[in-house]
A = this chain, B = another copy of it.
C-alpha cells in the first residue's frame, strides 16, 4: 500500500532550499546562507545558487524562517484610517519597514477594550518581531499579554502621564492643546469652544481636552457649560459642531477643533452662512493636513508630523531589536502652532 522500497519517492518537487540545493549540488544549508548571510559563502558558490534561485523563480518561505526565530514582520494596530491623519502614520511606518526589509501586518481596531484585546491577540498569533500600537492599551488582559511576551512594543500614544508598556513615541497632546488655546487667547479670543471626536478610550483626545481646560484655567477663564461638543470624525461633523456651539452661545468667538477634518467642515459651513473668517468666528484645527495650508482661508492649526511619527516608531522598534538597550523609553516629537488666517 505504501511505497517505501522501490518507488523513488515521488514527492512533488516542492520548491524550497532543498530543491535549489539539489539542483546546484550543495547542501540546503548553503542555500540558506546565501539567502541570509551571503558573506559566509564563497563568491562562486553564491553565484551558482543565486542563478538557480532566479531560474526557478524561488521565493523563500518567510513563515519557515520566522519559526526559526528571525522573523521580519512587525504588527500594528491602528484606528480607522479615514479622515484621521493615521494614513500618514501608516505610510511612514510602511516606508520605514520596507527600507529595513520588514513587512507590516495591519489590524484596524476601534477604541474598545474587547476590540483592542482581540486585535493584539491576532497580532501576537503571528509572532511578530515587534508591535506598534496606537490604541490606548486599557484592558489588563491585553497588558499582560504584552508584558509577558518578549515582544518589544512601541505605543504611539500620549506622552504625559502614561505608564508605558515598553517604549512610547508621541507628542504631548496636552501641551499641544494647551499651546493652541493660549495662542487663541493671545490673538484676542475670549470665548473659545472645543470640539472633539468621540473621546472615550482615546487617551490622546482626552489629553487635548484636558490641555484646553488647563489653558482656560491659567487664563482665568471660567468654564461655561455647553462650550464643548463631541461629533463624528467627518467634515459634516465639523459643520454640525459649529451649528450647535453657535446656537448655544451667540457670543462664542473661536472654536478649537481637535481635528483638521472637522475644522475644514466648519469653515465650509461658515461660507454657506456667509460668515467671514476670522472676523465672525475664529477656527483652529489639529493635524495640519495637506489641505490646511491650501484652504480658504488658510487654517490655523497644530502641526504634528504624523509621517515622521510612523517612521520613528518603527526605527525605535528596530533599534531595540538589534540589541540596542540604550533606547530611551519615551520619544517625544515636537509640534508647532501654525498661525494662518482662520484664527
Contact = CB atoms under 8 A, between A and B. Distances in A.
Contact of A265 (B64, B88, B94, B291): B291
Interface string A282-294: 0000000011011
A105 B105 contact: yes
A62 interface: yes
A264 B260 CA distance: 15
Nearest to A306: B82
B94 A88 contact: no
Best-buried of A57, A80, A269, A290 by chain B (most CB within 10 Å): A290
B126 A63 contact: yes
A165 to B, nearest CB: 15
Binding site secondary structure of chain A: helix
A50 interface: no
Interface residues of A, number: 56
A90 B124 CA distance: 21
Contacts of A148: 57
Interface of A: 57, 59-64, 66-67, 71, 73, 80-83, 87-88, 90-91, 94-95, 98, 103-108, 121-127, 144-145, 148, 234-236, 238-239, 261, 264-265, 268-269, 271-272, 290-291, 293-296
